[in-house]
Amino acid sequence: MRMLPVLSRLAWRYLWRNHRRTIVMLSAISVGAWAMIFMTALTRGMVDQMIADGISVIPGHVQVHNPDYLDDPSVNNRIALTDAELEQRFGEAGFAAWASRVRVPAVITSERESRGVTLLGIDPDAERAFSFVDYDKVDGRFLEGPDDNGVVIGAKLAETLETTVGKRIVLMSQDPDNEIADRGFRVVGLFHANMDVYEETYAFIGKRTAQKMLRIGDTVSELVFVGSDYRNVEPVYEKVSAAVDDSVKVSRWTEVDTYLGTMLGVMDGFMLIWVIVIFLALSFGLVNTLVMAVFERVREIGLMLALGMKPMSILGQIIIESMMLLAVGLLIGDVLAYVTVKPLESGVDISIVAKGMEMFGASSILYPKLYMDDVILSNVVVLVLGFLASLSPAWRASRYEPVEAITKV
Amino acid sequence: MTAVRCVDICKTYRQGDQDIKALDHLSVEIQKGEFVCLMSPSGGGKTTLLNAIGGLDIPDSGEVWVADKRIDQMSKGELADLRLANIGFVFQAYNLIPVLTAQENIEFVMQVQGVPTARRREKSLAILEEVGLTGLESRRPAAMSGGQQQRVAVARAIVSRPALVLADEPTANLDSKTADELMELFKELNEHHNTTFVIATHDQRVMRYAKRIIRMRDGRIVDDIEQNAA
């Protein structure tokens, strides 16, 4: 540590001795760092949105079901707890948001067309905070409570059924006795979603209305819990698990929607690979810069050794030089990334390719996300790999024999 | 008390397909406080002997003792510590660190030694005044004349008052006046601080200051005389 000030001063001065070379290398590192973070922000934004949309549509962060429900989501596989019991267990437990739903497959029929849908019987107030439907942007109105007798369907489904607000449709499913359970509803609202598939798939009715139609008393199909961060659902998972017994199955969203869960893992891995690939391209320039920097001051290294500097200090000096070069380049790259990503966080229209993106569950507006964790990851990876890349030239420099180095021309 | 003792040291360099004997079974003993000049024609072995004494070059055989320690078997790290604590070097070429100012060059050894900043500043300014370079503290080597650079190198070698100063042609690039001033400085250090000087030189002006002159040829000592110094 005693040597750090003198080594740092020497490293900094040597860095700027050949300022053109240093500026070229700094530019390469800055652009590389910017590219890493910018691409990561774009990818992260896309994945976040896909996951956030996916979670808000179906799983929440943690779900509770009858153990057989995920294999057979029929009305028979309900949770054997009443609304009152659920309220008692979870009402005051301090979750950011939670809701109980009736969720069954159903057929919706207009006077012209029929389609298979997922029928959701919900309490609209309980789901407002995390629903993918913006209640205020519904054509007509959204459900006003669990006893609402209307139905809200997607605008795309309405188009397919050739129906609209004010018209009547019939919803048909099965009751627990495997008898047809059907009922006519008036369409009170058409909701809009980021993706057509959501508008085509879901039909919302009041929870108690659904319970009456399906003749299931006051039981439900699923419970949905939402925490503060979809990446860390363990606290919610543990809290919910502690409040229920073996008669139900508690699942994280990654288990309910394995596609989204896998996507998250793949994207994290992809980003690390992306950072490493960019660094590998940079490392050739970095090593070349250090080799040249060492080569052009062999005599001075010999002099320092002759004056009593230890070989390890020479090694440290070259590594500090490399770290300074990388740190300055990364700092510039980070600032560049910040000023280019921040203005885009309000959304980038990628509608030209959005049809293709929808196949992956992404919408036509991309919201790049600059996460401090991603910036730290790319910086740390570059610094660690840069340190390793610097070891070879630094080691060579520290191995010089003073008497040979000092007489080098 | 012995400052330097070389016992039967040999050093052979290979140049092309020819072996050059730079030191050939050379033995010499230098007492603390001596002012010794090594003289030889070019290739006579004086620089090799200086390098061996300074631990910059390890002889093929024989023993080298400095400050009562055998140095020819020391590791690189131990040799670095020995040089840092006991030896000041003045090389033929100016050999300053080009990215440091005159004052920083002088402070370099003290900084490596761990001398506190205030003490370093005080000593470096004092030695700059002593070698006549007051006002040039902030100049880098490239902005100084050859003589000024050599004086900075000398200041760096003696600022931490090493017991032994090894100088290789210290006056080679200096005018007569600067060379005389430099030798007066060496003489004063030798007399007042009992610093041992071993100087390899061709310069007759330097020899006048030496109390002992060792003449070498082909890696051997051919003459070793004491004289009354100037």
Does residue A405 surpass a pLDDT of 90? no
The chain A residue lying nearest B157, using CA atoms, is A307
Q: In this predicted complex, what is the ipTM?
A: 0.89
The answer to whether residue A305 neighbours chain B at the CB level (below 8 Å) is: yes
pLDDT bracket for residue A234 (50, 70, 90): confident
Helical residues (DSSP H) of A253-350, grouped into ranges: 253-256, 258-295, 298-307, 311-341
Residues B95, A406: C-beta atoms closer than 8 Å: yes
Residues B108, A313: C-beta atoms closer than 8 Å: no
Q: What is the pLDDT of residue B200?
A: 93
Interface test mutation site (partner B, options A4, A22, A299, A303, max chain B beta carbons within 10 A) = A303
- Is the distance from CB of A336 to CB of A34 less than 8 angstroms? yes
pLDDT digits (tens, 9 = 90+) for A271-303: 788 888 888 888 888 888 888 888 888 888 999
- Is the distance from CB of A314 to CB of A304 less than 8 angstroms? yes
Cβ-based interface (< 8 Å): residues of B facing A: 51, 54, 56-57, 76-77, 80-81, 83-85, 87, 89, 91, 95, 97-100, 104, 108-109, 111-114, 156
The chain B residue lying nearest A409, using CA atoms, is B93
Q: What is the pLDDT of residue A358?
A: 59
Mean pLDDT of B150-169: 90
**B72: three-class secondary structure by DSSP:** coil
pLDDT bracket for residue A338 (50, 70, 90): very high
Q: What is the pLDDT of residue A170?
A: 95
Averaged confidence pLDDT in chain A: 86
Provide the percentage of residues in chain B whose pLDDT is more than 70: 99
Mean pLDDT of A1-21: 88
pLDDT bracket for residue A18 (50, 70, 90): confident
Q: What is the pLDDT of residue A226?
A: 85
Does residue B59 surpass a pLDDT of 60? yes
Distance CA B180, CA A63 (A): 92
A200 vs A260 pLDDT, higher one: A200
Does residue B14 surpass a pLDDT of 70? yes
Q: What is the pLDDT of residue A355?
A: 60
DSSP letters spanning A234-247 = HHHHHHHHHH--TT
Residues B95, A6: C-beta atoms closer than 8 Å: no
Query: What number of C-beta contacts closer than 8 Å exist between A and B?
Result: 66
Does residue A15 surpass a pLDDT of 80? yes
Residue A31's closest CA among A394, A334, A407, A395?
A: A334
Measure in Å the smallest separation between the Cα of A29 and chain B Cα atoms: 24
Residue A319's closest CA among A41, A83, A10, A2?
A: A10
Distance CA B6, CA B192 (A): 26
pLDDT digits (tens, 9 = 90+) for A350-402: 776 666 665 555 666 788 888 888 889 889 988 998 899 889 899 999 998 88
Q: What tokens does A266 get?
A: 């793949």
Measure in Å the smallest separation between the Cα of B141 and chain A Cα atoms: 13
Instruction: List chain A residues with CB under 8 Å of B167.
Output: none
The answer to whether residue A399 neighbours chain B at the CB level (below 8 Å) is: no
Pairing state of beta strands A365-366 and B35-39? Answer: unpaired
Q: What is the pLDDT of residue B30?
A: 95
Mean pLDDT of B65-90: 91
- Is the distance from CB of B54 to CB of B87 less than 8 angstroms? yes
Residues A6, B84: C-beta atoms closer than 8 Å: no
Provide the percentage of residues in chain B whose pLDDT is more than 90: 54
From B83, B99, B111, residue closest to A306, measured CB to CB: B83
Measure in Å the smallest separation between the Cα of B227 and chain A Cα atoms: 31
Measure in Å the smallest separation between the Cα of A299 and chain B Cα atoms: 8
Pairing state of beta strands B35-39 and B212-217? Answer: parallel
Mean pLDDT of A247-271: 79
Residues B89, A306: C-beta atoms closer than 8 Å: yes
The answer to whether residue A205 neighbours chain B at the CB level (below 8 Å) is: no
pLDDT digits (tens, 9 = 90+) for B19-34: 888 899 999 999 999 9
Interface test mutation site (partner B, options A7, A299, A403, max chain B beta carbons within 10 A) = A403
Distance CA A11, CA A16 (A): 9
Residue A293: partners with Cβ closer than 8 Å, 6 or more residues away: A14, A18, A21, A318, A321, A393
Mean pLDDT of B74-83: 91
Candidate ranges A14-18, A403-407, B225-229; pick with highest mean pLDDT: A14-18
The answer to whether residue A129 neighbours chain B at the CB level (below 8 Å) is: no
pLDDT digits (tens, 9 = 90+) for A205-221: 999 999 999 999 889 99
Residue A56's closest CA among A96, A93, A90, A94?
A: A96
Instruction: List chain A residues with CB under 8 Å of B80.
Output: 305, 308-311
Dihedral of the alpha carbons of A63, A69, A70, A73, in degrees to the nearest 10: -110
Residues A300, B54: C-beta atoms closer than 8 Å: no
